[in-house]
Structure 1
Amino acid sequence: MPKQHFEVFSDENISGVAFKNKTLKRAIINFLDNAGNATVAELNKEFNISTPKIITLVNELIHDGVIKDYGKVNSTGGRRASVYGLLAEAGFFIGVDIKRYCINIGLLDFKKNLVTIKENIPYKLENTPESFQALLKSIKQFISELPIRRNKILGIGINLSGRVNHASGYSYSYFHFQEEPLTSIIESELKIQTFLENDSRAMAYGEFCCGEVHSEKNVLYVNMDYGIGLGILIDGKIYYGKSGFSGEFGHIPFFNNEIICHCGKKGCLETEASGSALLRIFKEKVEAGTTSQLAKKYKHLDEIKLHDLIEAAYNEDMLCIDLIAQIGEKIGRGLGVLINLFNPELVILGGMLAKTGDYIRLPIKSALNKYSLSLVNNDSQLRISKLGEKAGVIGACLMARNKVFNK
């Protein structure tokens, strides 16, 4: 790892007074992160240590370029105190959101502002060494174009679909080619500490922090993409489950069919209620003679991607609109089970299919009314994601930031 530009987040082993000071500095940073700006008196009250000690620590953090003196606060009398807060340029975090056919990469500053984002970088996610190398190449290219020093990048968060253990850094669905954790392999290539997360959970976290969630503490985020994923917020905290694999909503054996899911089992919700199912059913309908503007646009049906169906629905292609409604009804039926189980305050619809707006939201809402208990679903709001496709990038950045702040 390259040496970071300030030592407070370094992994260097220290003890005694140096360790205590480092711990207090991190505590001050976390306090300012949550509370915003603060005076020395407010920090003194929070940590119950002497004013000279607080001033020394604050001055060292200013010298390290972590916090900033934002000027004097208004006072009703006496000497006005300086207000201190985090410096946006102190450090940065990269978020990498890997989709089926593209990558979105963004940069977040120290104060949680999204500085830049590069979307729809061409990419094909496959469980092959070639796909992994293409991923690394895209990340390296993004970093090389940033107008900041490399040692100011404090962490990288990477989202992958499937089974991901965020604590150990292993992915069991993609790029599990070696005994080492995937995070260790990526770190050795990028020379920046790396954190791995399930894509739906990261998207949910982005939405929880910066999107549609306000005061709600119990929330479900449904990632409606080529597959179906779920992020769960319980009592204000992300729920991972014992092994870190919670949220496999798409693999509930919901249907009695012979369609083999990509997980290897039959009858999963994803087989009939996902972007992949939508594409398959669309092709079957066109081959059976149903008309669609897309059939005229493309010579080969295999060239059609999920975003093409969404765009066609915008342009009033009735086949696409009807099929999206059917998919929505099935997703709503599955969500009815979750609402009966969790009784959430809020359900957020995200992912590519959420771009269709009421074309999918209304069938989902109708199915919820039909399949969930009225006393339960009456208390659950249903909203479309506010962050849209940016949710994954923002969530990945924020999760990496949290890991660095709290390690």
Structure 2
Amino acid sequence: MTKQNTFLNDLRNEAITGVAYKNLMLKKQILEYFANISDATITDLSKGLNASIPKINELVVALIEDGLVKDSGKTEVGIGRRPSLYGLKSNSIFFVGVEVKKSHVNIGLSDFKKNLIKSVKRIPFQLTNSQASLDDLCIIIDDFIKSLALAENIAGIGVNLTGRINYKTGYSYSFFHFNEEPLSVIIKDKIGIRTYIENDSRAMAYGEFCSGIVDKEKNILFVNLDYGIGLGIMINGELYYGKSGFAGEFGHIQIFNNEIICHCGKKGCLETEASGSALLEAFKIRLQQGASSIITKDRPDFNDIQLEDIIQAANNDDTLAIELIAEIGEKLGRGIAALINLFNPELVILGGSLSATGDYLFLPVKSAINKYSLSLVNNDTELKMSKLGENAGIIGACLLVRERLLELK
């Protein structure tokens, strides 16, 4: 019979109190020390956490029994009897990250040490604000977890969605907002594992910050370029949410004097002319006007064309796709220039599906930033493409669950 993991059981017990609660909090601090500082001796932990040596020893032994901590052997320094050095076991606790896109789901599993162990990309899925779509999403998550055969070691699930999310309350206000209970609770009840929800752009920003292109920068803007335009903001190394948790609605800044109605209901939003949806619409219009593209060989019906088709065509040197992506990039660069003037960030990262077009997008964005932002400000701002690509959201979701569930950073 498999021994019950006391730590995970206590972690899942929302009613835990008294001595058990205090021990759980100290265990978290021990794990945080190992994760963020280094392996350590019992004495090191006692000093670092301001707790008695007997108590630290008791809890380290318990964490070893739970399979979370390992004895790495004796230290190599010191005189006389050398103490043991303890540290994390990476394959002890796992986190699931789920990125929900318009037409597919990306899902992955990470371990305690932030390694992405497994991922499955582009699972077919239709995102709509309906119970059927939510049920399908839960089935995808449940099937993935069952395929792992280690559900008992999964501490939490992170689900990224586009739109307005309040991660503290667990409510989504753009999708699946037809129940009284928070979406996080609904998914937890269906899957059986504690769940957190987050805006996709913020999760991607966090993934890049912890495991991607970010080096030592602390003030970062992550621009998520997909069918819409999202923004993840990090200030002093922390995600910025704003008063209600909705900061980052970059795509809905009124920047154009047009009569195009955005899906938010307003006119002139950046998304109306500089998003993946705008690119797709412009592409179809140009085809109807007689322009040619390699896409029509496989998609003779213009209505069947998807954003992914245009991205693939551009990367196969399709002239029309490259031309329209450059136009989108110039308009997007105007918006990013305004952000640079406002935030004076160290780094702006271009991510999301459109970033897969590389320099076809990057160069016109960079040119527009130089043209429309203040040179004294943008001189201190680097522009880079996402390093993690499609993994950014998955990794970010896993790491945010790790932080929120275990209070680790």
TM-score higher than 0.5: yes
The residue that corresponds to 1:234 in the other structure is 235
Query: In the TM superposition, what is the alpha-carbon distance from 1:185 to its structure 2 partner?
Result: 1.1
Is the 2:8–2:155 contact (alpha carbons within 8 Å) kept by the matching residues of 1? no
Query: In the TM superposition, what is the alpha-carbon distance from 1:319 to its structure 2 partner?
Result: 0.7
Deviates more, 1:305-314 or 1:379-388: 305-314
The residue that corresponds to 2:129 in the other structure is 127
Is the 1:351–1:389 contact (alpha carbons within 8 Å) kept by the matching residues of 2? yes
Tell me the SS of whatever aligns to 1:388.
Answer: coil
Q: For residues 3-402 of structure 1, what are the structure 2 equivalents within 5 Å?
A: 6-148=8-150, 150-402=151-403
Tell me the SS of whatever aligns to 2:119.
Answer: strand
Query: In the TM superposition, what is the alpha-carbon distance from 1:76 to its structure 2 partner?
Result: 4.8
CA offsets 1:124-176 (integer angstroms, 9 cap, x no match): 1111222111111111111111131x221110000000111111111111111
Is the 2:12–2:194 contact (alpha carbons within 8 Å) kept by the matching residues of 1? no
- C-alpha separation in 2, matches of 1:39 and 1:241: 41
- The letter of the residue matching 1:214 is D
- The letter of the residue matching 2:156 is G
- The letter of the residue matching 1:82 is S
Distance 1:271 1:91, change over 3 A: same
CA offsets 1:18-51 (integer angstroms, 9 cap, x no match): 3332222121111111113111221122023332
- The letter of the residue matching 1:269 is L
- The letter of the residue matching 1:321 is I
Distance 1:191 1:166, change over 3 A: same
Query: In the TM superposition, what is the alpha-carbon distance from 1:354 to its structure 2 partner?
Result: 0.5
Query: In the TM superposition, what is the alpha-carbon distance from 1:77 to its structure 2 partner?
Result: 3.0
- The letter of the residue matching 1:94 is V
- C-alpha separation in 2, matches of 1:15 and 1:120: 42
- The letter of the residue matching 2:278 is A
- C-alpha separation in 2, matches of 1:358 and 1:11: 49
Distance 1:50 1:130, change over 3 A: closer
Distance 1:19 1:143, change over 3 A: closer
CA offsets 1:268-315 (integer angstroms, 9 cap, x no match): 100100111000000000100111111233120111111111111111
- The letter of the residue matching 1:336 is A
- C-alpha separation in 2, matches of 1:68 and 1:3: 15
CA offsets 1:67-90 (integer angstroms, 9 cap, x no match): 111222211532222111112222
Query: In the TM superposition, what is the alpha-carbon distance from 1:111 to its structure 2 partner?
Result: 1.9
- C-alpha separation in 1, matches of 2:391 and 2:336: 23
Is the 1:166–1:244 contact (alpha carbons within 8 Å) kept by the matching residues of 2? yes
Identity rate of aligned residues, in percent?
57
Is the 1:93–1:155 contact (alpha carbons within 8 Å) kept by the matching residues of 2? yes
State the aligned residue count: 405
Is the 1:321–1:359 contact (alpha carbons within 8 Å) kept by the matching residues of 2? yes
Is the 1:332–1:364 contact (alpha carbons within 8 Å) kept by the matching residues of 2? yes
CA offsets 1:353-391 (integer angstroms, 9 cap, x no match): 111111111100000000000000000000000000100
Is the 1:4–1:10 contact (alpha carbons within 8 Å) kept by the matching residues of 2? no
- C-alpha separation in 2, matches of 1:253 and 1:12: 44
Tell me the SS of whatever aligns to 1:31.
Answer: helix
- The letter of the residue matching 1:406 is E
Which sections of structure 1, spanning at least 5 residues, go unmatched? none
CA offsets 1:109-133 (integer angstroms, 9 cap, x no match): 1222111000010111111222111
Deviates more, 1:304-313 or 1:40-49: 40-49
Distance 1:178 1:16, change over 3 A: closer
- The letter of the residue matching 1:184 is V
Tell me the SS of whatever aligns to 1:272.
Answer: helix
- The letter of the residue matching 2:53 is T
- The letter of the residue matching 1:319 is L
Query: In the TM superposition, what is the alpha-carbon distance from 1:199 to its structure 2 partner?
Result: 0.6
Tell me the SS of whatever aligns to 1:396.
Answer: helix
Distance 1:137 1:366, change over 3 A: same
Is the 2:95–2:398 contact (alpha carbons within 8 Å) kept by the matching residues of 1? yes
CA offsets 1:174-230 (integer angstroms, 9 cap, x no match): 111111111111111111111010011111111111001111010000001110000
Is the 1:4–1:154 contact (alpha carbons within 8 Å) kept by the matching residues of 2? no
Tell me the SS of whatever aligns to 2:274.
Answer: coil
CA offsets 1:244-279 (integer angstroms, 9 cap, x no match): 001000000111111111111111100100111000
Query: In the TM superposition, what is the alpha-carbon distance from 1:5 to its structure 2 partner?
Result: 6.2
- C-alpha separation in 1, matches of 2:342 and 2:229: 18
Is the 1:44–1:51 contact (alpha carbons within 8 Å) kept by the matching residues of 2? yes
Tell me the SS of whatever aligns to 1:88.
Answer: coil
Is the 1:4–1:151 contact (alpha carbons within 8 Å) kept by the matching residues of 2? no
